[in-house]
Structure 1
Amino acid sequence: MAPGTRDQAFSSKQKYVATRLLKLSREDVLVIAQRVLEEYPTDDLARAVGRATLSQPADMIVSDSLAAFDQSGVHAIWQRAIGRRETDPEGAITLARTLLEEVCKQIIDGSGASYNEKDELPRLYRTAAESLNLAPDQHIEEIFKRILVGCQTIVEGLGAVRNKLSDAHDKGPKPARPTGRHAALAVNLAGAKALFLVETWRERSG
Structure 2
Amino acid sequence: MRKEIPAPIIAVLSENMPAHETHASLDNLFSYAEAPGEPPEGSKPVKVQAWLRRANKESETPLIVLGRIIECYMEIPDLEEKRSSLFGEPPLNAKKEFREKLEAILSRCNLTYLPGGIVSDGSSAPSRSLAALIKGRDIPSIDQEFNRALASVISDPREAVSAACNILESVFKIYIADEKLDMPQKQDLQSVWKVVRADLGFSPGILEDDDLKKILTGVLSVVDGIGAFRTHASSAHGQGRTIYNLKPRHARLAIHSAHTIALFVLETWDERKVRKEKISLDK
1:50 matched to which residue of 2? 114
Alignment of 1:148-163 (within 5 A): 148-163=216-231
Alignment size in residue pairs: 189
Matches of 2:28 and 2:203 in 1, distance apart? 52
- In the alignment, structure 1 segments of 5+ residues that lack a partner are 37-46
Q: Which of 57, 62, 65 in structure 1 is aligned with 2:133?
A: 65
Alignment of 1:40-119 (within 5 A): 49-50=113-114, 53-55=119-121, 56-58=123-125, 59-116=127-184, 118-119=186-187
2:212 matched to which residue of 1? 144
Question: What's the TM-score, normalizing by structure 1?
Answer: 0.77
**Cα pair distance change 1:136/1:69, threshold 3 Å:** farther
**Cα pair distance change 1:166/1:28, threshold 3 Å:** same
Larger gyration radius, structure 1 or structure 2: 2
1:44 matched to which residue of 2? none
- Secondary structure of the residue aligned to 2:253 is helix
Whether the 8 Å CA contact 1:90–1:178 is kept in 2: the answer is: yes
**Cα pair distance change 1:109/1:31, threshold 3 Å:** farther
CA RMSD, Structure 1 to Structure 2 (Å): 3.1
Question: Which of structure 1's runs of 4+ aligned residues deviate more than 6 A?
Answer: 30-33
Whether the 8 Å CA contact 2:67–2:113 is kept in 1: the answer is: no
Q: Does 1:28 align with 2:64?
A: yes
Higher-helix-fraction structure: 1
1:39 matched to which residue of 2? none
1:18 aligned partner, one-letter code: L
Question: What's the TM-score, normalizing by structure 2?
Answer: 0.58
Matches of 1:185 and 1:142 in 2, distance apart? 26
> Offset at 1:170?
2.2
Whether the 8 Å CA contact 1:121–1:159 is kept in 2: the answer is: yes
Q: Name the % identity.
A: 25
